[in-house]
Amino acid sequence: MQVTTIKALDKTLNKLRKEQQIIGLVPTMGALHEGHLALVDHAYKDCNIVVVSIFVNPTQFNNASDLEKYPRNLADDIDLLYKNNSKTIVFTPSIREIYKKDIKAEDFDFGSITQYMEGEYRQGHFNGVGTIIKHLFEIVKPHKAYFGEKDYQQLQLIKKLVKITQQPVIIVGSPTYREPSGLAKSSRNKRLSNSELEKAAILFKALSIAKNNFNQLSFSEIKEEIKTLFEKEECVKLEYFEIAEEENLIPTGTKKEQKKYRAFIAAVINEVRLIDNMAIN
């Protein structure tokens, strides 16, 4: 079932709530791929019904060109979801339906988890993410919501958002879905040629270097290895590579015992910006 308005979605979900059905939510911006379907499948293991929202959220784009070029293929997305599970509810609201006349982001205090990496390079992005997810939680009122670890900062932000807004939803993270080359599945991958996709696998290679050398090299030595790796690949421009503590997402050059660390990377290939991350110990 596809619904385009909050009123129609409410009517459907209220009936399910009266039947004490467990409702899951998978928020997306469309251009769906196997990674999204893996999230939906994960949700169906815990929930009776899953709502997949498809909404390209304007308030989380700090680059107008990026918003304009973001891949959109709604008919294909809906077909893919129905073939995967025919009872899925697909929520495809308009911008006006979500934001009315006030298309702007709320201001949240997410602390250190949004200050670095994506927070540093995409000003305002995380407030836009927080705004749309808050709206979707208020609209759908899901019992559980599912997000991929590819956007690890976003996942931590959403967990913090639930604490800030006190919304009664359980946030579930799901492992990054990858191509055979290791490249993280992303809607932005659709803008790359086959040869560019092969070159983009350098992001996974960089993260693997960090993980495989965690015990042998210092963080500064690992970063130097990554810098050298990208200098040899002219087609892919490294934007940042950072290692941060998982609990606070603050980049660090110091390795401490009993701390969990994660490597984060962003790079640009043919004007397409890709991100990835990996737990490295």
Rounded Cα distance between 191 and 205, Å, is 21
Rounded Cα distance between 245 and 260, Å, is 6
User: Hey, what are 102's tokens?
Assistant: 């006030």
Helices (H), the chain: 6-18, 34-46, 64-69, 74-84, 95-99, 118-121, 125-140, 152-165, 194-200, 202-212, 219-231
CA angle 137–124–269, rounded 5-degree value: 105
User: Hey, what are 196's tokens?
Assistant: 């560019």
User: Which of these, 25, 46, 47, lies nearest to 36 by C-alpha position?
Assistant: 25
33, 36, 125, 143: the active-site residue = 36
Rounded Cα distance between 165 and 229, Å, is 42
Rounded Cα distance between 237 and 235, Å, is 7
User: Hey, what are 199's tokens?
Assistant: 């070159």
CA distances from 179 to 42, 52, 204 (A): 19, 23, 10
Q: For the sheet with 236-245, list strands across it.
A: 236-245, 261-269, 272-279
User: Hey, what are 260's tokens?
Assistant: 């969990």
54 near 70, Cβ under 8 Å?
A: no
185 near 35, Cβ under 8 Å?
A: yes
The reply to whether 135 belongs to the active site is no
- So which residues are the catalytic ones? 36
